[in-house]
Structures are given as C-alpha cells and as structure tokens.
Structure 1
Amino acid sequence: MAMVGLFWIGEDSVYVGAEPVGGASGVRLTEAGVETLGAGQGRFWAWDEVVRIGTDGVPVRSAARRMASMAFDAVLAAVAAGGGELPPAFLVELVTAEETVEVTAHVAVTGGIYQPSEYELSVALLERLAEGRAEVGDLLAWGRDHAAGGTPPREEREALLRKWAGV
C-alpha cells in the first residue's frame, strides 16, 4: 500500500487516512460509494447520496516544523519505550441529504503530520469525489500499478493529487 496525501491506496482499496486495523474506525472509498469501518460503524452510502466529505483536526505543518516535531516525537518514543499507541487521529465528516456522520480516522503519513500542500490537494480531491467530478477508480488504477512499490516521493504524490483533483 502507498500513502498519497490523506489517502492510503492499495491494489483494491482506498482509505481516508490509514487502513483501520482490528476494531479501529476508518473510511473506505470504493467505486460504488463510501463505507465507514470499525466497531459500531459498518455503514455505506452510494456516491449519489454523498453531498460532502470533509476533515477536521488533520495535523498539518510546514516541512521545517514537521521535521522538528518528528525529532521531538522520536525522543519521546525512545523515552516511553514505544507504548504501541495508534497514530494521531482526525475526523472525517460524511454529509448526505439526511445526516452528517463523523468517523475517526488515523493518519497514514510517517511522523503523523501532513504538509499543507498535500492536505489542501487531498481536500480538493475529496470535494471533487463528493461532487461526482472525480472517480475513485483513478486512485484504484494507480494502486494496482504502483502501490506495491510503496509511497512515492512528495513531488510525485502532489502531482498525482493535482491530476486526480483536476487542479
């Protein structure tokens, strides 16, 4: 699997944030619609039911601040002996004509902090997906061809997000 912006992309799955493990919650995007996962979740909406997909609380910092934060976190992890904690969480807000559902997702990026450019492009892509102006199939096609190779460099990730978001 590979991380591109807020998306964790595999050969047959696209998640907003990290793929949920065990009972952890998350959001999977499919060609048919949006699915919430995890304990007490298990809901599905077809794309024509989705009005908006938003995020809240995504950790975003500039490259310099991200590096400083990662160094600090590495020191804390060494002191705490790695307590096996989940990565930082954020909210994914799914809006339909009938309801708004908030689901916790976990960051997929190394260090737990996204760069502003990737975050903004990811938000643009989520908006286009909800509006029907982008297709999850494009992300899945890329995943089938490239996800086994791991996460691409930042410049390639941003180029992919621009292409998928049409910006």
Structure 2
Amino acid sequence: MHRTMEFALESTPSTPPSPGTSSGPQKQGCMVGLFWIDADNVHLGTPGAGTASDVLLTPDSLRVVGPVPREWPWSDVTAVEVVGAPVRSAGARWAGRAASVAAAALDVWVPGSPDEMTVAVSAGGDRVETTVLSGAATAYSRREVDLSRALLARFVDGTSSPAVLSDWWSAAEQGVLHSRGREAVLEEWLAAQ
C-alpha cells in the first residue's frame, strides 16, 4: 500500500467503528521518528506490505516478521541499528513537499515507493539484517533519527520499554504530528523512566 502524502504517512484519519465495536472513532496509526504505532503493535519502520519484512517491538521481545521470521527477548538483544533512514535538512524537506503538492495539483505527480531502511539486530551471538520501509514521506529530521536511535538503545539496555510508545498511543488524542511535534514526543519517551 503506497501512502501518497505526508499527512497520510504520519497519521491516518479516524474511521467509523466496525459493527460490534465501541461507538468512538478508531485511530489507525501514527509515525513518530523511526516508529509506527497502531492499536496492535509498535513497528520499527512502517508496517510491511506484501513481501516486506516487519520489525515489531513489544515490552518482552523484538520480532522480525516476514520471509525469515525471528524473535529475541530483549535480554538477548545487544544492539539494534537502523541504516539508511532518509534524512534531509528542513529546507530540503519543505522543498520536496512543495514540489509534491505542486505536481499533485497539476496532476503529474506519481507517488514513489517508500525508502527502504536496514534494521540490524545483534542477539545471541548472531547479527540479523532485514529491510523495512520508512514512514517518512520525504525524510526524517536528523534529530528525529538521533532521538529514535537513542530510544532503541534504551530498549536494548533495559532502561526503557516499547510499552512507553503503546501507552502513549492508547492515551493520545493526536492529529498529524510534524517533525517538531514528533521530536517532542521522542524526547518525552526518552525522559520516561
């Protein structure tokens, strides 16, 4: 599934409830830094589509879902690296957005595929690499990537848990989060003990 505009990547709109569910709107998903959070999971990168791998973060484990599934308890994970996250300066990101909007207005814009990122997990003496999709329509800010990597390091060393992200999602009444808002949320998660 291609997400064609940045707001669709960062937070999908509420939809009416399915029959048999509560009467309130259902939140679909939100990108904060290198993470995608929805009602069921915390993903590293955007949820995989088709044959793409998916990296799920739970309070107890890190799980790779895809062609070669793997799972490790956090106590076995010694490092998680994300390579290839698209990073551009604020000016370049704004220029890219403006060009996309102008092309869409002229009906000449064709959405590209999301950028791919490599997630390398070191655990139990092994190093496993898998590819996930970026959630950024144009790119992340450098600070957003750095804060996300710092949070991943906290998961690895046991001083934080992906539960912080799930708890935020359950309580949040967020709309679209732009880069400054995403950075603030990441800083909040890093401060939580």
Asked if these proteins are the same fold (TM beyond 0.5), I'd say yes
**1: distance between equivalents of 2:77 and 2:122?**
6
* Count of residue pairs brought into register by the alignment: 162
Query: Are 2:131 and 1:139 equivalent residues in the alignment?
Result: no
Cα-to-partner distance string for 1:24-54 (whole Å, 9 max, x where unaligned): 112110111111122x122111111100111
1:127 matched residue in structure 2? 153
Query: Are 2:33 and 1:8 equivalent residues in the alignment?
Result: no
Give, as a single letter, the amino acid of the residue that structure 2 aligns with 1:45.
W
1:55 to 75, 82, 87: 82
Cα-to-partner distance string for 1:71-100 (whole Å, 9 max, x where unaligned): 456678864x63x75311010111113200
Q: TM-score, normalised by structure 2?
A: 0.75
Give, as a single letter, the amino acid of the residue that structure 2 aligns with 1:32.
D
Larger Rg: 2
1:161 matched residue in structure 2? 186
Q: Which runs of structure 1 show a deviation greater than 4 angstroms over 4 or more consecutive aligned residues?
A: 71-79
Give, as a single letter, the amino acid of the residue that structure 2 aligns with 1:142.
W
Q: Structure 1: any 5+ residue segments left out of the alignment?
A: none
How far did residue 150 of structure 1 move?
4.1
What are the equivalent positions in structure 2 for 1:11-50 lying under 5 Å apart? Answer: 11-38=39-66, 40-50=67-77
2:127 to 70, 91, 100: 100
**2: distance between equivalents of 1:156 and 1:46?**
31
Secondary structure at the aligned position of 2:113 is classed as coil
Considering only aligned residues, what root-mean-square deviation do their CA atoms show, in Å?
2.2
- Is the CA contact 1:12–1:143 (under 8 Å) kept in the aligned structure 2? no
**2: distance between equivalents of 1:141 and 1:106?**
24
How far did residue 5 of structure 1 move?
0.6
Give, as a single letter, the amino acid of the residue that structure 2 aligns with 1:126.
L
**1: distance between equivalents of 2:99 and 2:118?**
24
Identity %: 33
Q: Structure 2: any 5+ residue segments left out of the alignment?
A: 1-28
Higher RCO, 1 vs 2 (CA within 8 Å, ≥6 residues apart)? 1
How far did residue 140 of structure 1 move?
0.4
Q: TM-score, normalised by structure 1?
A: 0.85
